[in-house]
Chain A
Amino acid sequence: MKILVAVKRVIDYNVQIRVKEDGTGVVTDNVKMSTNPPDDNAIEEAVKIKEAGKATEVVAVTVGEEKAQETVRKALAVGADRGIHVKVDGILEPLAVSKILQKVVDKEKPDLVFMGKQAIDDDCNQTGQMLSALLNWPQATFASKIDVKDNKLEVTREIDEGLETIEINVPAIVTCDLRLNEPRYASLPNIMKAKKKPIEEIAASDLGVDVSPRLEQLKVEEPPKRKAGIKVANVAELVQKLKNEAKVI
């Protein structure tokens, strides 16, 4: 079984986001960037499945500008076998990314495609579902447990009401929740080894996909600030304030 894992480069989850003064977006210059956190879980799961002898190859793919390749290199350092970098400038909408990934799937013919359930920058939560629609494959979104059984997967999904278990036939798409596993850190020797693993570069423009934007971002602004609160001295004062001042209990 061959697993393709899609990874995205985003502003690191620990960075305090600053909105640009001209309202065109958020500040990304000199800001720490990392792999989208649940994409790390997707890579980890694919590598674990390979280590368990149930997959033969793990291919990491990213779609983005020059520096997006860092995320593929990181995936190689934690166990992916080779990488693909679809080069494109600017920000793509999830629909465009899923169309590009569809072309990559057509070429690579993986049995499984894994990715994070949501990117923490645009918070769209769309790409995996869109890709499975375009391929007409089953989709197991928000996965917190994956059991590989021959040509099927049994997947536990996190849903609002609790947990749901489904069985999907391969080929299939799985989008990963943060609780799926604990991503490993890359060791220094593996980081060195990863530098020798191949990354194929493809220009998005060569894929014959319409990636033109359908959405216009008219403005990006800071959310309204909460007014500063107070510290109370003890529990009695807290309960009194809630009862008589905020009138919520």
Chain B
Amino acid sequence: MAVLLIAEHNNKELRPFTLNAATAASQIDSDVHAVVIGQNSADAAKQLSELPVIKKVLSVEAAHYENFTAENFAPVIVKLAENYSHIVCSANTFGKNLMPRIAAHLDTSQVSDIIKVISPDTFLRPIYAGNAFATIKSNDAKKCVTIRPTSFDPCESTGGSAPIEKVDASEEFSNTKFIKREEIKSDRPELGTARIVVSGGRGMQSGDNFKLITEIADKLGAAIGASRAAVDAGYISNDHQVGQTGKVVVPDLYIAVGISGAIQHLAGMKESKVIVAINKDGEAPIFSVADYGLEADLFEALPQFMEELNKLNTIQK
């Protein structure tokens, strides 16, 4: 039986991690179908049909799917699941909210946040904030799996031409009502997919001081991250949080500024290819994962860093 991928989108286009989830799905079985549930989401369905790894697209449309409520999505997918061996989705807030609701309806024990497909029934996943890796074999007939998007490369996005099939909507769940979504718009790259991330912690001391980080991020074409301490202190909004309960990032370069390096923060960034730590406490745990550590006062180091960057003839973007 084929694998069913649940596409994440905003009704206009696919969210980028759908491509990473598609790669994981195709490693489970080469026969991957994808379902796009939304309202006026034809463009997202078309985009999905162009992914070469997708063999068929199922499109479900209704007004009550416009805001991606799990209570509305789950019944459709549960019904479709009859024809599939695996249901797959990204382990971001969309998939984390939705998949367990599907799994419980199917009486399946979900395998969350996998970082590797070992075989169609066996997966590798981090536990204890990534301080241990568990190899998990699922004995359920149907498997519900969420994948950690940064652990899989995005699939090719053009060249495919899968057929798009309409599927009937299910009834509306009336006890949950969407009110509003406050998205923080930014011209910078998305935190989850950026090549470079510059992150600030409690050491930044104020939200205003984050402009030292912003300047450098702009210069490097980087996304801005933060530790939970910085978000809790109100220096920056929650969508920037990197860590066990925030986002997991795997950029080519991660620059941690004024971040001590609690286990929970390391869980979200320690797979980055190159890690830089700037901290005035030479004993801070962040230095244990850093490739390059600079023991310095960030309020002196960051302006100097900007100056040195300005001296460079070229900067990779």
Contact = CB atoms under 8 A, between A and B. Distances in A.
Interface of A: 11, 13-14, 16-17, 19, 26, 38, 93-95, 98, 117-118, 120-134, 137-142, 144, 154, 157-169, 172, 177-179, 213-223, 226, 229-232, 234-236, 238-239, 241-243, 246, 248-249
A209 to B, nearest CB: 12
Given A95-B110, A215-B111, A230-B293, A126 B103 contact: yes
Given A118-B245, A123-B112, A142-B97, A243 B133 contact: no
Nearest to A127: B100
A134 B112 CA distance: 19
B177 A129 contact: no
- Top 6 closest pairs, chain A to chain B, by CB: A129-B100, A133-B104, A214-B109, A130-B104, A17-B131, A126-B100
Nearest to B308: A239
A121 B239 contact: no
| Among A19, A129, A141, A222: residue with most chain B CB under 10 A | A129
Interface in B107-137: 107-113, 122, 126-137
Contact of A248 (B137, B273, B305): B273
A24 to B, nearest CB: 11
A231 B244 contact: no
A26 B132 contact: yes
B293 A231 contact: yes
Given A232-B292, A236-B308, A249-B220, A26 B128 contact: yes
Contact of A162 (B110, B176, B181, B232): B181
A199 to B, nearest CB: 27
B304 A235 contact: yes
Nearest to A236: B308
B202 interface: no
9 contacts: A13-B263, A121-B128, A125-B113, A214-B109, A231-B293, A235-B307, A238-B294, A242-B276, A248-B316
A213 B137 CA distance: 11
Contact of B132 (A140, A160, A223): A223
A169 B175 contact: yes
Nearest to B272: A226
Nearest to B301: A235
Interface residues of B, number: 91
Contacts of B237: 162
Contacts of A133: 74, 100-105
A91 to B, nearest CB: 11
Given A95-B110, A168-B177, A248-B273, A229 B96 contact: no
B69 to A, nearest CB: 7
Contacts of B291: 226, 229-230, 246
Contact of B175 (A134, A137, A217): A137
B44 to A, nearest CB: 16
B103 A95 contact: yes
Nearest to B178: A166
B138 to A, nearest CB: 6
